Structure 1
Amino acid sequence: MTTSRRSFLAGAGLASGLGAMPLSALGASVGTAAAEPDFGPKIGEALLSRNENPYGPAPSALRAISDTAKMGCYYADRGLMRLTAMIAERHNVSPEQVVVGAGSTEILCAISLAWGHDGAILCPDLFWDTTVLYGERQGVTSIRVPLTADMSVDLPAIASKAADGVALVQICNPNNPTGMLIPAEALRSFAAQVTPQATLLVDEAYNELTDRPEDNSMIDLVRTGADLIVCRTFSKIYGMAGLRVGYAITSEANADRIRSHLMSFGGNLAGLAAAIASYDDTPFLDQSRAAVLEGRAMINDAVAKAGLTALPSQTNFVFVAVPDADALREAMAARGIAIRGAYGPWKGFSRVSTGKLEDVARYTAALPELVQRLWA
């Protein structure tokens, strides 16, 4: 950690014309000292298990929520249209190619159903598969392909299975929970291979946290007419996980198909207002990203000091190689630090998110000691 960056993050205003507000004030708990809060971490808890960004929502978003709350008695369709137009303009597509939903989760679930009724979903065996599991509960079939030995997504193996009977190929890039980024050229080549047989869905929830977000995105392939869907979210760099706003960019025909399977109507007024206000809030986004990157560097330094290794992350979390992920989760929990346990059979990896820097510091202080105690 550098003192200059820490001081900058702690004291800088993220106001975008709304007056200064310290970063440290932005993730404040809703509750009081007398009772556990209804939202966010428990009192005294370092919440590092859920890939949230506690430095959001932006001050511009908070102001918009306050200013529009009194309009909550009305449906939010005009706000939905405005955000759709803003997203379309930034990415040089038509508004008809943009689908906004209650977080990218709703959109991904809709895609799972819409395409899953026509054929199987082809995907890695370890990725953020909650929405595929949702489809499976509704009768959708999935075909899962193992990762490579270094935990990368095995694009050649997936491409070899993209044949008749596969309706959708789903990739998360960067991947969750590994945090690893598929190189852009490799993914573009993969898209050229699979899209003649099936629609390619790329979940780019963490794109804005990668080293070169624009280069790493596949949105340009949508503009060239490829049968591809790109999903994004306001939950990560924008710090709006609880406000539930996400979107997809694809062809007009695919967009119509997705909309036909959405389960919400008209949008969430508070979430839409916050998204509209902060979508172009560059000062907040720059400092939000800086906080995430500092937290990630802190985790990687602690991992090395503890004699462990971690996969290369381009996200707001790190996948750390450990002897027993569940044992480490329980030991951290005893100290009020929440991290993830094992992902199914992948018991040798522990995922930790970049929360508030002071909470990350609690993890980094505890890690070497707990590693020594558990596995020395």
Structure 2
Amino acid sequence: MAFDISRRFMLAGGFGASATLAAGCSAASTATGQQAAFPPQTTPSGNALLGPNPDIAQLSRNENPYGPSESALKMIEYAGKKGAYYAGEANLVLAQLIAERHGVSPEQIAITTGSGEALSAIALIYGPKGPIVAPRLFWDTTALYAANLGMATIDRVPLTPDMKTDLAAIEAKVTESTGLVQLCNPNNPTGLVAPADEMKATVKRLAAKTTVLVDEAYMELADDPDGNTCIDLVKEGHDVIIARTFSKIYGMAGIRVGYTISSPEIAAKIRSTAMSWISGVGLAAAIGCYNDTAFLDYSKAKIVEARDMVATTCDALGMEFLPSQTNFMYFKSGLPANDLHEKLAARNIEIRGQYMDYADWSRVSMGKIEDVERFCKALPTVV
């Protein structure tokens, strides 16, 4: 069913939300002095209440349009009929499922409204203790949340010349007074996975000095998730927090469920700092699809198919791109990122604009195959 987004809605709700987001981006820029301008959010238009309008190829937000799975949708329907009630024990059921898969106890799991809430809570917990040391480029929204409240500073370490996270330089920067080390693996927006042996050895040494947060939002999309994850370091007792989400491979970005794996003590701190409760709908959906391997395999296959299409297109055009293990790709088109964003937007194709001062690099997400095809066909016509 289509929904008519009226002018009244745009002015009263949609436009206000967009203006607030734009203001938030501006505040982040002012607070850090490092965030470059990003093309502003547009007001709602057309018939889509949720998600993009049918004529828009939305390739800017790292969503997985193949979700939610049927297993999640069945539980969403059930939960909707139980919407009069608080979620109750569903939180414990999901924690048990996650714990069983990873060989930890349910007390080590903190479930939040998307991993973003957990990451924000962690920034509030550790930011006052000292600087958050992180790569120059990483998913920094949640660290900026604490920074914009005056509760954290971010000490950014430059990437290597080939755009990798410089683990050695990060290790050299960390001292006993560091509040937190925050890493994103695979990294966003580069899409790169750190070499497993180097990553785990470095994190282990860092955790002897301070708490290390590894944001693994895209780990299920990596070529070897089990070999690259740092969850084993938590199980070994190191001062490490792993963050995961249902927003990516599970295709539930709008349903908002995420979790962390850490020591029971840290998990308790995260739960006590989180600002809200998970909805029964979110918990039920997550329970329904968590072990749906058929859907996960299908999602990953479609994302890899789209990624190969983009790589082939960039190769044919002689464009530099990074070997992504995520559902997005970082590439150089030869145009400034914001110019490419505008040219594609004129063709109803949405990609991400400029990150910080990396004006030459653009990020495109892997959406529906037909939308990725539109991008691949349009790219040579605009550069």
The verdict on a shared fold, with TM-score over 0.5 as the criterion, is yes
Q: Choose which of 66, 72, 76 in structure 2 pairs with 1:65.
A: 76
Tell me, yes or no, if the aligned pair for 1:30 and 1:40 is still in contact at 8 Å. no
Q: Choose which of 341, 349, 355 in structure 2 pairs with 1:329.
A: 341
1:165 paired residue number: 177
Q: Choose which of 327, 343, 352 in structure 2 pairs with 1:340.
A: 352
1:252 aligns with 2:290: no
1:230 paired residue number: 242
SS of residue paired to 2:254: helix
Q: Partners of 2:322 and 2:222 in 1: how far apart?
A: 15
Q: Choose which of 210, 221, 225 in structure 1 pairs with 2:233.
A: 221
Q: Choose which of 150, 154, 157 in structure 2 pairs with 1:142.
A: 154
SS of residue paired to 2:89: helix
Tell me which amino acid in the other structure corresponds to 1:325: A
Q: Partners of 1:238 and 1:313 in 2: how far apart?
A: 19
Instruction: State the 1:82 CA deviation.
Output: 0.5
Q: Choose which of 53, 56, 76 in structure 1 pairs with 2:67.
A: 56
Q: Choose which of 189, 196, 202 in structure 2 pairs with 1:184.
A: 196
Instruction: State the 1:31 CA deviation.
Output: 4.1
1:268-291 Cα distance to aligned partner (Å, 9 max, x none): 111111100000001111101100
The 3 A distance-change label for structure 1 pair 83 and 148 is same
1:126 aligns with 2:137: yes
1:318 paired residue number: 329
Tell me, yes or no, if the aligned pair for 1:322 and 1:350 is still in contact at 8 Å. yes
Tell me which amino acid in the other structure corresponds to 2:57: A
1:86 paired residue number: 97
Tell me the TM-score normalized by structure 2: 0.87
2:362 paired residue number: 350
Tell me which amino acid in the other structure corresponds to 1:192: K
Q: Partners of 1:322 and 1:35 in 2: how far apart?
A: 30
1:101 aligns with 2:97: no
Instruction: State the 1:196 CA deviation.
Output: 1.1
1:21 paired residue number: none
Q: Partners of 1:132 and 1:294 in 2: how far apart?
A: 33
Q: Partners of 2:323 and 2:134 in 1: how far apart?
A: 21
Q: Partners of 2:202 and 2:111 in 1: how far apart?
A: 26
1:360 aligns with 2:366: no
1:13-50 Cα distance to aligned partner (Å, 9 max, x none): xxxxxxxxxxxxxxxx8648994211101230000000
SS of residue paired to 1:189: helix
SS of residue paired to 1:310: coil
Gaps of 5+ in 2: 6-44
Overall identity of the aligned pairs, in % = 50
Q: Choose which of 284, 288, 295 in structure 1 pairs with 2:299.
A: 288
SS of residue paired to 2:116: helix
2:8 paired residue number: none
Q: Choose which of 164, 175, 195 in structure 2 pairs with 1:152.
A: 164
Q: Choose which of 39, 43, 68 in structure 1 pairs with 2:50.
A: 39
Gaps of 5+ in 1: 1-28, 372-376
Tell me which amino acid in the other structure corresponds to 1:71: K
SS of residue paired to 1:330: helix
Q: Partners of 1:68 and 1:224 in 2: how far apart?
A: 37
Tell me the TM-score normalized by structure 1: 0.89
Tell me, yes or no, if the aligned pair for 1:305 and 1:368 is still in contact at 8 Å. no
Query: Which stretch of the first structure deviates more once superposed, 71-80 or 168-177?
Result: 71-80
1:203 aligns with 2:215: yes
1:305 aligns with 2:316: yes
Tell me, yes or no, if the aligned pair for 2:66 and 2:251 is still in contact at 8 Å. yes
Query: Which stretch of the first structure deviates more once superposed, 135-144 or 272-281?
Result: 135-144
Tell me which amino acid in the other structure corresponds to 1:94: S
